[in-house]
Structure 1
Amino acid sequence: MKPIELMRAEAVNLTEDPDEVCGYWRGHLVWVKQEDADGLWYVRVNHPDGGYLYDGFWRAHRDCTAADAVAEAFRGAELLEDE
């Protein structure tokens, strides 16, 4: 499954809009928000203990979607490395 599909299937308190996705996946807070029309996304992933696994801007192509940003969050935080 793609990361956005995992979020839709398993996330708690999921909110999803074209420019923002936020929810708790397996205890990890995953939050992405497009900050401007040039494709700058803010990505944050917090470990269940509160530590930051990913916190910063992702400069994506203008056509990237929220699903692409969620995929980047999962990649950057290595959420699927054990699977």
Structure 2
Amino acid sequence: MKRTPIQRLRATGKLTVDDFCEVCGYWRGHLIWVKLEDTDGLWYIRVNHPDGGYLYDGYWRTYRDRTTADAVAEAFRGAELGGSES
């Protein structure tokens, strides 16, 4: 069964923050950071390549009912990290 992006990120065991409004950690050397900035549903997403370059850096406007799992999925999509799990 294929895991979701948040499940893949959590499976690495390299999370520095994991709560309802923020997740920060590493997946295959990539820094993945998502944070709900305000109650209007504005998420800040940053994904850095292992070499330090930015693959995603900006705001993602969503509906208020979006979760950190949704924001991490957007980070994976936006940075084109979908690929296989292996």
> What TM-score does the superposition give when structure 1 sets the normalisation length?
0.93
Aligned to 1:45: 47
Equivalent residue number for residue 4 of structure 2: 2
Q: Show structure 1 runs of 4+ deviating over 2 A.
A: none
> How many aligned residue pairs are there?
82
Query: How high is the TM-score relative to the length of structure 2?
Result: 0.90
| Identical pairs, percent | 68
| Contact 1:7/1:14 (8 A) holds in 2 | no
Tell me the distance in 2 between the aligned counterparts of 1:42 and 1:23: 14
Which aligned pairs between 1:9-48 and structure 2 lie closer than 5 A? Answer: 9-48=11-50
Verify the 8 A CA contact 2:25 2:31 in the aligned structure 1. Answer: yes
What are the within-5 Å matches in structure 2 for residues 61-80 of structure 1? 61-80=63-82
